[in-house]
Amino acid sequence: MKKIKLGTSSLEVPVVAVGCMRINSLDKNEAERFVQSSLELGANFFDHADIYGGGTCEEIFAEAVHMSPSVRENLILQSKCGIRPGIAFDFSKEHILNSVDGILKRLNTEYLDVLLLHRPDALVEPEEVAEAFDQLESSGKVRHFGVSNQKPMQIELLKKYVKQPLVANQLQLSITNANMISNGINVNMEVHSSIDRDGSILDYCRLHDITIQPWSPFQYGFFEGVFLGNEKFPELNKKIDEIAAKYSVSNTTIAIAWLLRHPAKMQPVTGTMNTERLADCVKAGEVVLTREEWYEIYMAAGNILP
C-alpha cells in the first residue's frame, strides 16, 4: 500500500483510510473477515467517530480485530468527537475528555493515533479545546490532532490557542462534489462554480501541510447516492469506464485515483464494507491518471472550464 505523511507529523499512513461508519451493518463473522481482509491489503488506518452506530461501531471493530497490545501496534486508529445527539455540537473540554475516554474503552486501546474534532461547534471556546488537547497529549491518550469539516478561519482560531499541529481535515469531496476544486478553477468568473463556499480550504490545507481526508468519495449531494453506475451521470460513467478499461481496473479504482491524482496528497476515507470494493480502492494507489484523463473526468461530471 502506498503511504503518505499525515500532515506535518512523522506518522506514515496508507494513502487510503478505511471508514468504519457502517461496520455495524455486518454480523460478527462478516466484520471479522472485513477487518482482517483490510489488514491483508495493507489498509491498517481505520477511521471512526463516537457517534457511528451510537458507539457500537467502535466496539464491533475492537472485537473483529481481536484487539490486544500486539495487534494494536500494527494499527493506526483515528476517531472523531464533538457531535452530541439531541444537543448538536460540543467542543467543551469536559465533552472532549469524556468522549475520548469512551472511545478508548470501546476500541479497547490505551491511545488514539489521531483525534479529529467533528463538525464545527458555533459555541467553541478554543481555550478549552487547547486545555483538553494538552491533557490528552500529556496523558498519552491521543498522539495527533486534527479537525473535520472546518474552514481556514476556524482552524486559525484554534491554532491561536492549540499548540499541537492540526494534521488532518476531513472534508466531503468527490468527483461530483468538487466545489473546493471548481471555485479555484473559476476565479473571477460570473458562474455558479466560482462561488467559494469554504474559504479556499483546499489551498489553505496545502499551504499549511494539513492532509485532506475526503469523505464520501463516491457520493453525490449529501448522501443522495453513489454516482458510479448511476443513470443520472451517463457521461461521467462512460468516461470513467473507458479509463478503467485502459488501466484494467474497476470504476471504483478510477474514482479514488482521481482524488489521489490531485497534488494535495489527500487520503480518501472509504465507506464500503465490501472487501472486493475495498481492494479496488486500495489499488487506486497504483494508478496515476494523466492530466488529460483527470480533466476529462472532471468535465464529464458536468463541470465547465472557463
Give the catalytic positions in this structure.
52
Are 85 and 51 spatial neighbours (Cβ–Cβ below 8 Å)? yes
Angle made by CA atoms 184, 190, 191, in degrees to the nearest 5:
70
Roughly how many angstroms between the first and final C-alpha of the chain, as a whole number? 37
Work out the burial of residue 277: count CB atoms within 10 Å of its CB; fewer than 13 is exposed, 13-18 middle, 19 or more buried.
Answer: middle
Q: Which helix (H) or strand (E) holds 278?
A: helix 275-283
Checking phi first, is residue 213 left (phi over 0); if not, alpha (psi -120 to 50) or beta?
A: beta
Q: How many of the other CB atoms lie within 10 Å of CB of 122?
A: 8
Q: How many of the other CB atoms lie within 10 Å of CB of 250?
A: 20
Work out the burial of residue 37: count CB atoms within 10 Å of its CB; fewer than 13 is exposed, 13-18 middle, 19 or more buried.
Answer: middle
Distance CA 256, CA 281 (A): 6
Q: Which residue has the cell 491511545?
A: 111
